[in-house]
Amino acid sequence: KPNAATSSDKGGIEGAVNEAYNKYKDLKEGKNADYIPELAKVPSEQFAIVVIAPDGKVYSKGDADAMYSIQSISKVLTLARDIEDFGPKAIQDKIGVDPTGQKFNSAVFVEENKGKELNPLVNAGAIAATSMVKGNTYEEKWNTILQTHNDFAGRQLSVNDPVYKSEAATNQHNQALASLMNSFERMYFDPAKSVDIYTKQCAININTKDLAMIAATLANGGTNPVTKKKVVSPETVAHVLPVMATCGLYDDSGIWFYNVGLPAKSGVGGGIMAIVPGQYGIAAFSPRLDEAGNSVRAQKAITDIVNKLGLNPY
């Protein structure tokens, strides 16, 4: 496939980013997540696109500094941490790496599989991944997770407290999933505490530059292209990206990968990141979601950029 975009040929990227931004900036499809008031309140008009090249060069457009909660995208970072610390086989065995485009964000799947063959990017498996995180206490585990997020983003991040508190007050179903996993001996720390840490990691505040930097770190084999810190190894990344490829966009994961061919992950905060292995980290943000819970404009913007620059590897 022709690919004119290189870091020195910034015209290609800049043009693609601008074009996508302008094409979708007035699109009003979808609506904010509203299961907690804090997500409903995020200004719906916000829209940002950021691409970061292998040399750390940032191509940015729109509200790239607007902050929002990372939500499900944090699952990718916790997964990366676990693979780095315990090896890919441990995650495969203790959680599972089964692809799915279905709603097994439910107790049905957990019960039927006795807590096995889950996926670390879908709730039950993600909570198990959080419970596995290195550390003997709540604090140690939380610090491991926050440090990992900081390292990927290349700067100090913090928790959006209203989002955390609001979600902590309404996470009974995640508690039930953790309790059910626990009954099958597939939780690796106190279930209630694990759900709390998980809820907190989802409330970490980021902007779209952070998100693109996280993506770029994954694109760059686990080393942050700006700070040069090796967050995780290339082998870890090689195991994280396939899981993103199959389970990154909730129930529409299959549709995304079928059409775009790149590992990606979305969060109900409105962010989506896509990884072009060895090349770019691409991030977009817009709070209005479609029915599957994925940002409408972020999906469209990334898809256009990928097509324009010929980045679909298939």
> Would you please indicate which residues are annotated as catalytic (active-site) residues?
72, 75, 198, 250, 268
Q: Which residue's CB is nearer to a second copy, number 248 or number 287? A: 248
CB of 6 to a second copy, least distance (A): 17
CB of 19 to a second copy, least distance (A): 21
117: left (phi over 0), alpha (psi -120 to 50) or beta: left
Q: Which residue's CB is nearer to a second copy, number 245 or number 301? A: 245
Residues of the shown chain interacting with a second copy in the complex, contacts defined by CB under 8 A:
1, 88, 92, 96-102, 104, 106-112, 117, 119, 172-173, 175-176, 179-180, 182-183, 234, 237-239, 241-243, 245-247, 251, 253-255, 257-259, 261, 263, 277-278, 312-314
Cα(314)–Cα(303) distance, integer angstroms: 14
CB of 237 to a second copy, least distance (A): 7
What is the three-state SS of 223-289?
A: ECCCCCCECCCHHHHHHHHHHHHHHCCHHHHHHHHHHHCCCEEECCCCEEEEECCCCCEEEEECCCE
Look at residue 60 and give its three-state secondary structure: strand
Q: Which residue's CB is nearer to a second copy, number 101 or number 287? A: 101
Are 269 and 112 spatial neighbours (Cβ–Cβ below 8 Å)? Answer: no
Q: Which residue's CB is nearer to a second copy, number 42 or number 95? A: 95
Q: Give the pair of three-digit tokens for residue 157.
A: 């991040």
Q: Give the pair of three-digit tokens for residue 74.
A: 């944090």
Distance (Å) of CA 303 to CA 19, 137, 261, 281: 12, 41, 10, 13
Q: What single-letter DSSP state applies at residue 65?
A: T
CB of 88 to a second copy, least distance (A): 7
